[in-house]
Amino acid sequence: MENYVDISYGEETVPIGAEACVVEALKEEGFKYSQVNLMTSASGLDPSEICYDGCACIVLSCDDESCEETCHCLDKFGGNYVIVTSDDGTKKILLDIDDHVNGQPTPPIFECNSMCKCSDQCINREVQRGVKVPLFVFQCDDDGRGFGVRTLEPLHKGQFICEYAGDILDTSEAANRSSRQKFGDMNYVIGVREHTEEGSEVTFIDPQKRGNVGRFLNHSCDPNLIMIPVRCDSEIVRLALFARRNIEAQEELTFHYGGRPDEFKDNSCSKIQRKKCLCGSQNCEEFLPFDPSLFPHYANGN
């Protein structure tokens, strides 16, 4: 990526390249790169808090591949990843993505944490190791989509790509920030809902001013990435993006802004001027996903 700038400024293991026009635009916006989620006074939540007991496994090298079957983490939460060797001998750590793509009930993803004895080589630490594939941020060609991200190398189905990281918000602050958006503004607030036996939980992330490369990913109604909640140290989820299918080098990376393609299809909220979807896919839903919980005064008919 000669003559391009690393917009992560060394925060990521792999540089995040960008065109000069992107770098200048980010300076004007006052954007600050952050590899991880950040606590705000509005959330009162600390993503660095350690909430889980650690395992006592000793993993010294990739040859060990993972913790033992008796690992406390794996026994409590289940295994997540497998190592797959490509034809050229390259090893990839992959998630079994099919159940997530098909919308089937799946166990939550918990990785080994800071209290665990296993090393950074343990494969149950994939998301927390950060970006490992070369990504490039570019300016879209006057199509109204702003920036975009492409991969510089082929990606495998189930491969972790990056997080969608930024400010952690509670529902009230997420609604407040969304309500201040003008129609032509980019809206970066993403909410992901998790359904449990006790009910549902929602995590809101806003990377508009502080965030990582996930901020620049465009929406598609036929995306090649899927967002999956992952927990490491904290109860606060990390919104991890995995490849839904094999992806070619130089292909633009996209995900569905509703989290899953079947969320927020209701276009009946006529009091809100919905933004047109520009993804161009054959199954385009015409409008960008709309989360009514962020606009309660409209959703309640007021």
pLDDT of 262 higher than 50: no
Identify residue 50 by its one-letter amino acid code.
I
Of the given ranges (70-79, 106-115, 238-247, 264-273), which has the lowest mean pLDDT? 264-273
End-to-end Cα distance, the chain = 51
pLDDT at 43: 64
Topology annotation, domain 16-299: Beta-clip-like (2.170.270)
pLDDT at 299: 47
**Cα–Cα separations (whole angstroms), residue 209 to 52, 89, 117, 186, 297:** 30, 41, 36, 12, 26
Which tens digit of pLDDT belongs to each residue from 63-120?
556 787 778 888 888 888 998 988 788 888 999 998 787 766 667 799 999 999 888 8
Rounded Cα distance, 14 and 9, in Å? 10
- What is the pLDDT confidence band of residue 302, given thresholds at 50, 70 and 90? very low
Are the C-beta atoms of residues 32 and 209 closer than 8 Å to each other? Answer: yes
Contacts for 287 with CB less than 8 Å, ≥ 6 apart = 267, 274, 275, 276, 277
Are the C-beta atoms of residues 275 and 184 closer than 8 Å to each other? Answer: no
pLDDT at 227: 92
Coil vs helix vs strand at 161: strand
**In sequence order, what are the beta bridge partners of 159?**
94
Residue with more model confidence, 201 or 213 = 213
Closest CA relative to residue 117, chosen from 41, 199, 188, 56: 56
Query: From its phi and psi, is residue 144 left (phi > 0), alpha (psi between -120 and 50) or beta?
Result: left
